[in-house]
Amino acid sequence: MSLDTERDSATQTRIRQWVETTASDDLTITGEIPDKELSVRGWNEVINYTLIEWGKSPESLDDDGIEPPNRQTVRRACDIAIALRDSGLPCPERVLPNGNGGIVFEKEAGGRLCVFEIESDGLIEYREFLNGRLVHQSPIDKL
């Protein structure tokens, strides 16, 4: 599984442009550790701690009216995290359940919010907000 040329090129370009910009910002902030190494480490923490823990104990997210992600959704989120990590994209700042059985990866910088949402039915959506306004939304089905 990898990001490849089959994927919607416009969306891929938007994702890459934005995440590369924020990766540079991260490097400025964090200083010493090369951004790629930092990012790989971040993705590994997302996979090995957050997602695997959710997969092992989905009941930890079970709550009043909330549908936790099931193991299949967690597995899919792991696959996507690995694909994004191996494509050199910076790790998300937040990995959160969406309350409807899905999982959200978010990265935010300078009023721009980038969101990957893995839904319980397997659909993946990429959204980009600028100062609270939705400026891009598209399904991603070639990951």
Partner 1 sequence: MPDGDGSEPITGDELLYRRIPASQGWYDPQFSKLNRLAFNPIKFDTTGLSLARGKYKSAELIAVGQPGKQYYLAELRAQDLYDNGINVVPNPLPGDPGHAEIPSMTYESRKSTEVLEAQILLAEKLTLRVLGPFPEHV
Closer residue to partner 1 in complex, CB, 34/111 = 111
Closer residue to partner 1 in complex, CB, 79/125 = 125
Decide: is 60 part of the binding site for partner 1 (CB under 8 A).
yes
Decide: is 96 part of the binding site for partner 1 (CB under 8 A).
yes
Decide: is 132 part of the binding site for partner 1 (CB under 8 A).
yes
Name, in order, each residue with C-beta under 8 angstroms of 57's C-beta and a sequence gap of 6 or more: none
Choose one: 4-12, 25-33, 35-43, 121-129; the region binding partner 1 (CB under 8 A). 121-129
Max distance between CA atoms of the chain, in angstroms, equals 44
Interface residues with partner 1 (CB under 8 A)? 60-67, 94, 96-100, 104, 106, 113, 125, 127, 129, 132-134, 137
